[in-house]
Amino acid sequence: MLRPEKEAFVSRIREELVNSSIVVAVSRAPGITVEEITKLRKDMHKAEANLKILKNTLARIAIKDSALDSIGEFLEGSTGLAYSSNPVGLAKALSKFAKDTEKLTVLGGVMDGKAIGADTVDALASLPSVDELRAKIVGLLTAAASKIVRTIKEPSARIARVIAAKS
């Protein structure tokens, strides 16, 4: 790759990383196959996340002088950067893959400008998705409304039963 191409590539990667709400550094095990990486990329795409495997020097240049500077300490050996605007989706995809294959390790990252560790990524992975939370809220609101309706309706239903029993 020629220097102008590298500069354009690094600026595009920097823009993508800076515009993401979470960026996570991951370490790949030597035995990971192309099929496994492809599966991870597909899972991450479903979760609206991306994974870039790039040279550590290019990654360091891309994150230099930004809120992502703390990721630089993880860029040793065979690493990649996962990023997304959906922190929970990214964390779930990475955690599931790491548990299934044991060939990927979450090192740490940055979320909304603050450094996070691997334990924070695992905690994010255990959170319910946005759709699950919406369903729970709708269920709670529906249950409360039906209880109110039942409470309001019950006295008149009792009176109707008493009148029906007397006649």
CB atoms within 10 A of CB 122: 15
Name the pTM for this structure. Answer: 0.74
Say whether both 13 and 71 belong to one domain. yes
Residue-level pLDDT at 141: 86
Whether the per-residue pLDDT at 43 is higher than 80: the answer is yes
Q: Rounded mean pLDDT of the chain?
A: 86
Say whether both 92 and 138 belong to one domain. no
Q: How many residues would you count in the chain? A: 167
Residue 92 CA to residue 70 CA, distance in Å, equals 22
Say whether both 102 and 90 belong to one domain. yes
Indicate the angle between helix axes 87-101 and 34-46, nearest 10 degrees: 150
CB atoms within 10 A of CB 18: 14
Residue with tokens 């550590």: 56
Say whether both 41 and 83 belong to one domain. yes
| Residue 158 binned pLDDT confidence (cut-offs 50, 70, 90) | confident
Residue-level pLDDT at 82: 92
